[in-house]
């Protein structure tokens, strides 16, 4: 199932309590430092009530992202579909095909019309430009809640 930022509702709290020090690791891949910073600022330290704190890992290159995913245990991957050389959609498709139990993938697309390509890349969610901070935060929160739900994949 693919989540579109426009389809996000407010799910009830799940997982760690507000006073918890539990953390989850998220990867942001973009060759643009401004995009990486904007996503990190938008999502914040805790994307939603009842969710654990977020610890970000940044990757600016395809090779760096693949290496970090192979070595890490990420709850979620945020991939910039507009990254030069190897875009987030190609990276998502590669990771979904090559990594056993690949974490859920959120792809940032340039246009809403690119959602078909993000679907081809096996994205679990899509946020289209211009990147609304609330849509980014709610999408990440929904994806983390889905992973924690019974039957979801908690990493």
Q: Residue 122 CB: number of other CB atoms within 10 A?
A: 17
The reported pLDDT for the residue numbered 13 is 37
The reported pLDDT for the residue numbered 41 is 97
The reported pLDDT for the residue numbered 117 is 93
Q: How far is the C-alpha of 15 from the C-alpha of 49, rounded, in Å?
A: 9
Number of domains the chain is built from: 1
Q: What is the pTM of this model?
A: 0.85
Tell me whether residue 99 is in a domain.
yes
Its domain, for residue 30, covers 22-141
For residue 99, what is the domain's CATH number? Answer: 3.40.50.2300
The encoded tokens of residue 57 equal: 């890992």
The reported pLDDT for the residue numbered 4 is 43
Order of strands across the sheet that contains 3-4: 3-4, 125-128, 105-109, 76-80, 23-29, 53-59
Tell me whether residue 9 is in a domain.
no
The encoded tokens of residue 148 equal: 């924690």
Tell me whether residue 106 is in a domain.
yes
The reported pLDDT for the residue numbered 54 is 97
124 in Cβ contact with 145 (< 8 Å): no
Tell me whether residue 150 is in a domain.
no
Tell me whether residue 32 is in a domain.
yes
Tell me whether residue 155 is in a domain.
no
Tell me whether residue 2 is in a domain.
no
> How many Cα atoms occupy the beta-carbon half-sphere of 96 within 13 Å?
20
Residues paired with 51 in a beta bridge: none
Tell me whether residue 34 is in a domain.
yes
Q: How far is the C-alpha of 42 from the C-alpha of 137, rounded, in Å?
A: 6
Low-confidence ranges of the chain (pLDDT < 70): 1-20, 152-155
């Amino acid at each position: 199932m693919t989540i579109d930022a426009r389809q996000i509702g407010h799910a009830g709290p799940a997982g760690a309590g507000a006073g918890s020090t539990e953390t989850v690791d998220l990867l942001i891949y973009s060759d643009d430092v401004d995009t990486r910073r904007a996503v990190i600022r938008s999502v914040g330290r805790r994307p939603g009530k009842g969710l654990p704190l977020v610890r970000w890992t940044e990757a600016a290159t395809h090779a760096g992202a693949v290496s970090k995913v192979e070595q890490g245990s990420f709850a979620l991957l945020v991939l910039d579909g507009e990254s030069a050389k190897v875009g987030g959609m190609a990276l998502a498709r590669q990771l979904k095909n090559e990594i056993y139990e690949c974490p859920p993938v959120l792809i940032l697309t340039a246009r809403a019309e690119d959602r078909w390509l993000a679907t081809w890349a096996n994205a679990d969610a899509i946020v289209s430009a211009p990147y609304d901070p609330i849509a980014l935060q709610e999408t990440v929160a929904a994806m983390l809640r889905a992973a924690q739900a019974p039957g979801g994949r908690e990493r």
